[in-house]
Chains A and B, each alone.
Chain A
């Protein structure tokens, strides 16, 4: 190195290209050009014919619909300000959805309730690209936990209101929903109930078990080892294993059968989910308690707190963020796993998924799968926000 003056870099004539933006714009553009925007099916079971966007809408129409996408592309490529990037991504999401709805309207003959217009690969790829751009912009904005929850609530309300408005009714997934509206509500409730109920039971049983493991190191290995083994049993196998004992229980005690304990149905599903949930709860309780400052516990005892007071006032509050992280893992995991419960008659949104697979009706699969993904996502955002609030108080 010389000690001479360093020349300042020449000013750029063009702003630097955003790397992620370049990648996503390229992927989106390629998908729109090469993949069908919609798929048209004469009815819900036959294979569909792919259509590009330009085949569906008149040139002026498609140009108007794609304008937000073009604006977004420019923003994604050249603008660094996250607020602007987020606004553009959201506007483009709205534009893309409206385009899809208009395409469905245009392709549906009047009074025809049999023809199915489904989103094609092009739509899905662009949707994912826009979602990634929006998420990236939100991450760059670093919103606090409260704002993230508010934003999620706002986005959810907007989507539900848009779907309820009837504007998207010609889309095939919405057609499936209209046919199954009543069942959808029931299965959604059942899904949430199974996921939350088994979580609650796991917390009620697992947290004290974790405290016990922390207090008595001798039993820790045994309990965590057992729970680890349970975790490795595939869900379907666990359902099968539980069928026999639960069936026997129901046969022996008719009262149990009357309250819903059977070899198949919700009972084995709930028990299996509960068993899977125990490991993260117990392990995180142990870890959380282990992380609590020894000096704080020592001081608490030395000042005359009783063991119970040390646990409730010092150890558990300080371990709470780690325990909540376990609860987050369990809830997201449960929301996904409840899906499989449908196989043994446990109900939940998995019912649509497996029914759809059986009928090769992909729209019905989506009717089950999309809400599951949304539920899991919401649970993750909510609990992450909660963990962050709790963790504000630094150890």
Chain B
């Protein structure tokens, strides 16, 4: 758990982060979202002390982060950034091994961990261990960047616009990978982005920042149904908020028992996708497949619309 208490950062008269307090739950993905200059990156960088706070403090598992030297703290926290920041003069394996080596792991342990991570990130060790970053595609470079951040098995992973430089298709894949990885390792992820769609898709909780202040820190649905500030509504978008709300609930969560005519839909799909599918096929219902237990299930347009408004 990460506890942020009254954290501020000032450069002269300019307050970049203004008295932010929040609790980040263990094993969750928290997304900090805001426009550029909102202070979101600075807030993230104060967690691993790349930026030292002007006031306030950060507790990691109840311990003040200032109780140990900054470089030792950072070795316990994963860090991945936009444009991956891979070391161009080091191979993929050497890049991933950076923090384990700084921590003085035995060479066999380092090697085993590197191979494990390459497998997890769908990179064949035989082919990619000895490759240099410039020989990889953009998506592969990004995956190596995240693998490197996770190399020393950190409890916490900080990500600063990690998918910002990727094209939409690779970005979607990278987001799915991150969700998988988070489930697999149970890492606590704090991710900064300016992309509301990304925030809604990835975040268990989303923090909206503007002008250095934390406007609202809540579950995505709450941001839509109970915005704490007009700026939050503007960020989430008024025009398609009903559809955004639908995108937060899975078909499995609200499926009705029994079979029904209409297109087939995976249980993991969102209500938004279900509605789209029904509109497209002109059907009033659809069949939900892949429910746990294998029982027949369905959704109707009316049932979906129930979930498209607040309350």
Contacts and interface: CB of A to CB of B under 8 A. Distances in A.
Q: Do A and B come from one complex?
A: yes
Interface residues of B, number: 27
A304 B71 contact: yes
Contacts of B73: 304
Given A304-B71, A304-B72, A394-B134, A299 B79 contact: yes
B88 A295 contact: no
Interface in B56-84: 71-76, 79, 81-84
A296 B86 contact: yes
The A interface, classified by DSSP as helix, strand, loop or mixed, is helix
Contacts of B74: 301-304
Given A301-B50, A303-B102, A304-B75, A295 B85 contact: yes
Interface in A231-272: none
Contacts, number: 68
B218 to A, nearest CB: 28
B83 A394 contact: no
Contact of A393 (B50, B83, B88, B102): B88
A107 B32 CA distance: 91
A316 to B, nearest CB: 10
A298 B99 contact: no
B128 interface: no
B85 A293 contact: yes
Q: Which of B50, B83, B87, B148 has the most CB of A within 10 A?
A: B87
Interface string B119-147: 00000000000001010000000000100
Interface residues of A, number: 19
A317 B88 CA distance: 10
A318 B86 CA distance: 12
Nearest to A390: B89
A305 B82 contact: no
Given A304-B75, A305-B102, A306-B71, A394 B81 contact: no
Interface string A284-305: 0000000001011011111111
Contact of B79 (A303, A314, A395): A303
Contacts of A317: 89
B97 to A, nearest CB: 11
Contact of B88 (A301, A303, A318): A318
B275 to A, nearest CB: 41
B98 interface: yes
B248 to A, nearest CB: 31
A305 to B, nearest CB: 7
Given A303-B99, A305-B71, A305-B102, A393 B86 contact: no
A298 B102 contact: no
Interface string A375-395: 000000000000000000111
B78 to A, nearest CB: 8
Contacts of B88: 293, 296, 318, 393-395
B132 A296 contact: no
Contacts of A303: 74-75, 79, 98-99, 102, 148-149
Contacts of A318: 87-89
A299 B50 contact: no
Given A302-B81, A304-B71, A318-B88, 18 more contacts: A295-B82, A296-B86, A299-B87, A302-B48, A302-B50, A302-B79, A303-B74, A303-B75, A303-B79, A303-B98, A303-B149, A304-B75, A304-B76, A304-B102, A317-B89, A393-B88, A393-B134, A395-B88
Interface of B: 48, 50, 71-76, 79, 81-89, 98-99, 102, 132, 134, 145, 148-149, 158
